[in-house]
Structure 1
């Protein structure tokens, strides 16, 4: 059967910028973007056009930040989608390449973050599993010093984004992707877990705060019911815009009530 034509809408760099500006994205601001390329519609120029449109919206004084996580740099014993045979585990641990911020591709965050990661001038944080990439005049201030034992807590780019007054843009992505909620997990009693991963000197195990995006969609529903969240459309995508600090503060209270944990 012939492939059906795209249904659109047609999205261009210029229309994306105009719609973001109409939503209230401001020149000079710091924007943490979680995105879905598929949700936008038919984009002329693909992810490159999206990144250019985002950069146009915030202007030369703005800074664009995206998650560039690498969850595959982890213990194969924990892999579920798909699992690998147990007899492979030790070989995988011994041979898995260590994280290199310049060459290790992101995984599971989409084509837009991966495009920004490789953009000329982009900087990337050092955490081997939960890095962020940033482009703009505040990029180094945001990504430098990401502690290797702090995935998404006080010594991660998230805490810096909070202090710098950054906003979150959910561009076709749901609240389940909202990394800002994870910062709240570091501020409530939470269990610690041991995490295996490749390191510069071979396989290593570090102790970290347990993080879990379970119920983040429910948390997001309550958040935008109770707090000011700008909502609109860019192309076909549902878009939400709100301060990182508001999301963290609300999540800290919500998680303490709805998902209590023991230390």
Structure 2
């Protein structure tokens, strides 16, 4: 979408002060610990791009607050590495760079904001290569420290700590299915047929590049088979989130030109676990 179309959508430039007003009206407040997901094009023409949006979020949550994003690792070895011809596997294992929280780019499919925030002065990124997060602000170190190598969406993860700190989830024009925190609900839910994956990625350990094996819920194809409870063509997390809103959980408003939502992290997890166990059966 070109600049003129973005300007027309948002009724002129979306400036930092306008973002601050809209975010405050939505309910974001000083001292908040907030994980946010953004679709920039939905907001309109943001004067200054990601830096302006991060600055506005920082203005609202203040020095006591913290911003958090999901990063992943854009250039991670593919999960299907083990299916490659053996010489290809060996070449990759010999030379693929290790994950580096300072240098490894955030997954491009998550948009521009995760990469912008993880590069921000003072930002802290978690150590897990596949499920990394980044945070900026007063609670950044506490959120990111000692990210569990296995079950990185479960207990002790940055997602679990977000809930424990009374954190919030903010969707800035992002679709409802982008709520990463629902992976924490999947990790906690006791329902039959939970799917797991095991994979290897290179990390640095004691100054050496090593390939480490990881165990996690299947966050790519889904930790559960939702086909019996989610209409064909719809995304499970979008259905769960819409049901949350219908139950009166979360608030909606407009930031720039974008329909946006704000949820309490604990409510998202409690509702998500209950929804999964009710719909799929507890076991």
TM-score for the superposition, normalised by structure 1: 0.89
The answer to whether residue 59 in structure 2 is matched with residue 56 in structure 1 is yes
Q: Paired residue for 1:33?
A: 36
Q: Paired residue for 1:103?
A: 103
Deviation at 1:109, TM superposition (A): 1.6
The answer to whether residue 205 in structure 2 is matched with residue 202 in structure 1 is no
Q: Which residue, out of 196, 215, 229, partners 2:236?
A: 215
CA contact (8 A) 1:152 1:179 kept: no
The Cα RMSD (Å) is 2.4
Deviation at 1:4, TM superposition (A): 7.7
Which is further off, 141-150 or 160-169? 141-150
Deviation at 1:59, TM superposition (A): 1.3
Match runs of 1:123-202 below 5 Å: 123-189=124-190, 190-200=194-204, 201-202=209-210
CA contact (8 A) 1:125 1:132 kept: yes
Matched position secondary structure for 2:242: helix
CA displacement, residues 155-205 of structure 1 (integer Å, 9 cap, x when unaligned): 210101101100100111122211111111111242332122223343332
- C-alpha distance in structure 2 between counterparts of 1:11 and 1:207, whole Å: 42
Deviation at 1:49, TM superposition (A): 0.5
- C-alpha distance in structure 2 between counterparts of 1:224 and 1:167, whole Å: 15
Give the number of equivalent residue pairs.
Answer: 257
- C-alpha distance in structure 2 between counterparts of 1:151 and 1:165, whole Å: 20
Does the C-alpha gap of structure 1 residues 148 and 13 become closer, same or farther in structure 2, counting only changes over 3 Å?
Answer: same
CA contact (8 A) 2:75 2:105 kept: no
- C-alpha distance in structure 1 between counterparts of 2:277 and 2:122, whole Å: 40
Structure 2 residues without counterparts, runs of 5 or longer:
224-234
CA contact (8 A) 1:75 1:195 kept: no
Q: Paired residue for 2:73?
A: 70
